[in-house]
Copies of this chain bind each other. A is one copy, B any other.
Amino acid sequence: MNKVKLDEIDHQILDMLIDNTRTPFTDIAKKLLISAGTVHVRVKKMEESGIIKGSSLTLDYVKLGYSFIAYVGIFLEKTHQTKFVLERLSQIPYVTVAHITTGKFNIFCKIRAKDTTHAKNIIFKIDDIEGISRTETMISLEESINDKRRLMHTIFNEL
């Protein structure tokens, strides 16, 4: 859970890998004027320390037939049911993100669906979970920003 110290070299390695996880270590080495072996060792260390948790593809959900996004705010009957409800939510694969929140809602989640009909079924399934008193849905008309890279570049340039 604690912070980890990374130096400028580490930041630059991450900065390149963030945009393409398959960037050859030899390319990174060339750009940073270090050896490929060093890149390898540093990446390995960042994996071991947990800074790098893994890698994943960015796929085009729309092309896969999943163009519907909605956020669902959940009101619980009693807050101590949070764990149980989250357990149930996690069994619905279309719920891709969920947070316990302060403010308006007790739990806040994001769903991905094929279309409105599909989404309706998912939301009904959520509504049916015991312990949930009410939900409020916000349908995404357009995902205008989705860019963790900008944040990462900012973080890496901070030091």
Q: Which residues of A line the B interface, CB within 8 A?
A: 1-4, 14, 17-22, 49-60, 62-66, 69, 71, 73, 86, 89-90, 93-105, 107-109, 112, 136-155
The 7 listed contacts between A and B (C-beta, < 8 Å) are: A20-B55, A50-B63, A59-B152, A66-B151, A98-B145, A107-B144, A109-B145
Task: Report copies per complex.
Answer: 2
Within the complex, what minimum Cβ distance (angstroms) separates A74 from chain B? Answer: 11
**Please, how many angstroms separate the alpha-carbon atoms of A56 and B89 in the complex?**
26
- Residues in B neighbouring A112, C-beta threshold 8 A: 151
- Residues in B neighbouring A1, C-beta threshold 8 A: 62-63
Decide: B22 and A56 in contact? CB cutoff 8 A.
no
Decide: A150 and B97 in contact? CB cutoff 8 A.
no
Decide: A108 and B147 in contact? CB cutoff 8 A.
no
- Residues in B neighbouring A2, C-beta threshold 8 A: 63
Decide: A100 and B57 in contact? CB cutoff 8 A.
no
Within the complex, what minimum Cβ distance (angstroms) separates A12 from chain B? Answer: 13
Interface centre among A55, A94, A97, A143 (most CB of B within 10 A): A55
Within the complex, what minimum Cβ distance (angstroms) separates A36 from chain B? Answer: 15
- Residues in B neighbouring A138, C-beta threshold 8 A: 73, 99, 101-105, 108
Interface centre among A1, A56, A141, A150 (most CB of B within 10 A): A56
Output the nearest chain B residue to A6 by Cβ-Cβ distance: B64
Decide: B96 and A146 in contact? CB cutoff 8 A.
yes
